[in-house]
Amino acid sequence: MTGWQDQWARIERWTERVRAVQQGQADYFLGTEHYRDEVFALFEGLWHLKDWLHNDPAVRVSKEDVDGWVFSETSPVLSLKAAKDVANGSKHLRLANPAVDAAQTRNDATFGGDNKHVFYIELARTGQEYDALTLAEMCTQDWRRFLALHNITAPS
């Protein structure tokens, strides 16, 4: 595989790791900071899929296509705006131009028989809070919608 599908495959692997840890099904122990790193990597991947799409010569999607879809006044794509804030906040420490002021609010950890972590993200502009896995799955669905709008087949 080459092209944007490589990034999609990475997103799927990160999602599976976050899901396994959140549901206490990981066959390895992941400390709180390591889990947080996985969550940040997942959202960086989700946000930067846009770059893979418009840089892939096999796909006819421009940067303007992606930005217009995510950032237009009427855009319902809240999840990708949150992904932008989480990705850029984890990468640059502070957000110069937040889309929805998304930030980590808490990380619930359960240790014992099933080690679990649940990382929560709040969208300050809307007051909504999501666990990382739910928000990541929303992003994936929004990307699938974008791909369908542009007649691009999403990997299954």
Tell me the per-residue pLDDT of 85-98, one tens digit each, with 9 for 90 and over. Answer: 888 776 655 656 65
Is the residue at 146 inside a domain?
no
**For residue 18, is it within any domain?**
yes
pLDDT at 72: 76
Domain assignment present for 21: yes
Residue 48 lies in a domain: yes
Residue 20: inside a domain: yes
Indicate if the pLDDT at residue 42 is higher than 70.
Answer: yes
Q: What's the total number of domains in the chain?
A: 1
- pLDDT tens-digit map of 51-87: 999 999 999 999 999 888 888 766 677 889 888 888 8
Predicted model pTM: 0.85
Q: Could you report the per-residue pLDDT of 117-133, keeping only the tens digit for each? A: 788 887 877 888 889 99
Range of the domain at 104: 4-135
Amino acid symbol at 45: G
Q: Is residue 125 part of a domain?
A: yes
The C-alpha atoms of residue 70 and residue 10 are separated, in whole angstroms, by 21
Q: Is residue 141 part of a domain?
A: no
